């Protein structure tokens, strides 16, 4: 990270930081800090006194936003019979979760999603707005129901089975994406999940390629990964797990020796970077310039829901702050750690200082 990016990073953490404090944190003289500040103001990154950053949305998140319903088993889970549980309801959806995490990381996200004209849709919009998410591109489809995700977790917090009512996303058309694009295209990066149909995904990929916008893509599941086109030129970073990587690469991912081959095959489709999620074994990241495995920490897991979304958020945070792929992955893993230790899909404890500190442990 160069000095200019370091200064921007510190200002994002604390918009009221003094030039002397910036000098001490970045390791340059106060006059040098003043020169950098002047350059950043002239470039439009900072809007004058109090270091108010350019307020255009940094990331637009496109895809799933729904209501999460979770049932936690109170004893060992048994199939084909009734299980005593503790249940709760919260906001969810991959794109929406990423947007909430990005808001907690001070990245001013915009959410582009689709809800029904119902109480769930209103709750989702109002609650997201209160968190700090721009909901101007949330489209209401009057004839559809807001999506729901219902999960049954065992007494250790591991997922047993989940059920997704996502019919609303089948109605999303390229024309809808085009109608939103003027607002979406102002972003420095776009995150998309595969809840929307293949032709709409293709539209987003094409537009990002044409306009040079960094596109981060989460395949979500092995079934939904099949929606993706063979040509992924225009995708900056893709974040598959093992099963999704097998669908995308045609390589059986069963041992560490398989990781680079699977990633190579995905890069051959036009992707710039692959971040392969390996669950409790960590992540393997791969680009033309960087390849490495980052082992996971041993922690007490409360709930696995939302951990992947948190990882994507931390990764985006690192990328937008000028970090390398490896450094960004560590920030992603730090975000996952906080979420795995929380009973919430989006941990309220998530913030830039905390993930920066935890990332040092990887």
Query: For the segment 245-287, what is each residue's pLDDT rounded down to a tens digit?
Result: 999 999 999 999 999 999 999 999 999 999 999 998 999 999 9
Asked if residue 235 and residue 273 are part of one domain, the reply reads: yes
So what's the pLDDT on residue 47?
A: 67
- Is the pLDDT score of 13 beyond 80? no
Compute the average pLDDT of residues 288-303.
Answer: 91
- Is the pLDDT score of 62 beyond 70? yes
Asked if residue 179 and residue 203 are part of one domain, the reply reads: yes
In the listed set 55, 75, 99, which residue is the last one of a domain according to the structure?
55
**Tell me, what CATH number does 211's domain have?**
3.40.1190.20
Asked if residue 249 and residue 141 are part of one domain, the reply reads: yes
So what's the pLDDT on residue 16?
A: 66
Compute the mean pLDDT over every residue in the chain, rounded to the nearest whole number: 92
Confidence of residue 2 (pLDDT cuts 50, 70, 90): confident
In a domain? residue 78: no
Confidence of residue 135 (pLDDT cuts 50, 70, 90): very high
Asked if residue 279 and residue 180 are part of one domain, the reply reads: yes
Q: At what angle do helices 307-320 and 325-340 cross, to 10 degrees?
A: 150
In a domain? residue 75: no
In a domain? residue 153: no
State the pairing for strand pair 66-73/148-153. parallel
So what's the pLDDT on residue 42?
A: 79
In a domain? residue 223: yes
Burial letters for 188-221: b for 16+ Cβ neighbours within 10 Å, e otherwise?
bbbbbbbbbbeebbbbbbebbbeeebbbbbbbbb
Q: Which residue has the higher pLDDT, 201 or 300?
A: 201
In a domain? residue 103: yes
The label of the residue with tokens 């200082």 reads 353
Confidence of residue 230 (pLDDT cuts 50, 70, 90): very high
In a domain? residue 294: yes
Asked if residue 115 and residue 46 are part of one domain, the reply reads: no
In a domain? residue 74: no
Confidence of residue 236 (pLDDT cuts 50, 70, 90): very high
CA atoms within 13 A on the CB side of 197: 13
Asked if residue 139 and residue 25 are part of one domain, the reply reads: no
Query: For the segment 19-55, what is each residue's pLDDT rounded down to a tens digit?
Result: 878 888 888 987 788 888 888 887 877 765 555 555 5
**Tell me, what CATH number does 1's domain have?**
1.10.10.10
Asked if residue 50 and residue 61 are part of one domain, the reply reads: no
In a domain? residue 169: yes
Confidence of residue 83 (pLDDT cuts 50, 70, 90): very high
Query: For the segment 141-173, what is each residue's pLDDT rounded down to a tens digit?
Result: 999 999 998 989 998 888 899 888 999 999 999
Q: What strands lie across the sheet with 214-218, from one edge to the other? A: 134-141, 110-116, 59-62, 189-193, 214-218, 237-238, 273-277, 283-286, 291-294
Asked if residue 60 and residue 50 are part of one domain, the reply reads: no
Query: For the segment 170-199, what is each residue's pLDDT rounded down to a tens digit?
Result: 999 999 999 999 999 989 999 999 999 999
Look at the chain and report how many structural domains it folds into: 2
Q: At what angle do helices 174-184 and 198-211 cross, to 10 degrees?
A: 30
The residue range of the domain holding 351 is: 56-67+90-147+162-359
So what's the pLDDT on residue 24?
A: 86
Q: Whole-model pTM? A: 0.81
- Is the pLDDT score of 56 beyond 60? no
Asked if residue 126 and residue 26 are part of one domain, the reply reads: no
Asked if residue 94 and residue 33 are part of one domain, the reply reads: no
Contacts of 356 (CB under 8 A, 6+ apart): 331, 334
Asked if residue 271 and residue 122 are part of one domain, the reply reads: yes
So what's the pLDDT on residue 145?
A: 96
- Is the pLDDT score of 294 beyond 60? yes
First to last CA, the chain: 18
Question: Among residues of the chain, what percentage have pLDDT more than 90?
Answer: 72
In angstroms, rounded to a whole number, what is the distance separating the alpha carbons of residues 200 and 114?
Answer: 13
Asked if residue 126 and residue 12 are part of one domain, the reply reads: no
């Amino acid at each position: 990270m160069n000095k200019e990016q370091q200064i921007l990073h510190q200002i994002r953490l604390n918009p009221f930081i003094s030039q002397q404090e910036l000098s001490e944190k970045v390791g340059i003289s106060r006059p040098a800090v003043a020169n950098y500040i002047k350059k950043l103001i002239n470039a439009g990154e900072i809007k004058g006194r109090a270091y108010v950053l350019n307020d255009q949305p940094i990331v637009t998140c496109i895809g799933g936003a729904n209501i999460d319903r979770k049932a936690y088993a109170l004893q060992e889970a048994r199939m084909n019979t009734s299980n005593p549980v503790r249940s709760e309801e919260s906001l969810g959806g991959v794109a929406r979760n990423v947007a909430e995490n990005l808001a907690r990381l001070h990245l001013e996200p915009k959410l582009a999603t689709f809800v029904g004209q119902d109480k769930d849709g209103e709750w989702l919009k109002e609650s997201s707005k209160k968190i700090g998410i721009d909901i101007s591109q949330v489209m209401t489809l009057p004839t559809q129901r807001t999506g729901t995700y219902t999960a049954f977790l065992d007494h250790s917090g591991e997922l047993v089975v989940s059920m997704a009512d996502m019919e609303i996303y089948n109605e999303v058309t390229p024309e809808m994406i085009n109608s939103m694009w003027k607002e979406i295209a102002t972003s420095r990066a776009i995150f998309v999940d595969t809840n929307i149909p293949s032709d709409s995904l293709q539209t987003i990929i094409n537009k990002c390629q044409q306009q040079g916008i960094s596109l981060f893509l989460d395949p979500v599941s092995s079934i939904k990964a099949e929606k993706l086109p063979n040509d992924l030129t225009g995708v900056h970073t893709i974040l598959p797990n093992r099963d999704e990587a097998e669908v995308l690469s045609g390589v059986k991912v069963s041992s560490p020796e398989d990781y680079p081959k699977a990633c190579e095959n995905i890069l051959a489709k036009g992707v710039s970077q692959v971040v392969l999620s390996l669950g409790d074994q960590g992540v393997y990241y791969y680009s033309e310039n960087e390849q490495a495995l980052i082992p996971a920490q041993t922690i007490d897991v409360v709930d696995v829901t939302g951990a992947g979304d948190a990882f994507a958020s931390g990764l985006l945070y690192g990328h937008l702050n000028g970090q390398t792929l490896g450094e960004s992955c560590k920030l992603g893993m730090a975000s996952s750690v906080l979420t795995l230790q929380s009973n919430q899909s989006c941990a309220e404890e998530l913030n830039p200082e905390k993930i920066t500190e935890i990332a040092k442990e990887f």
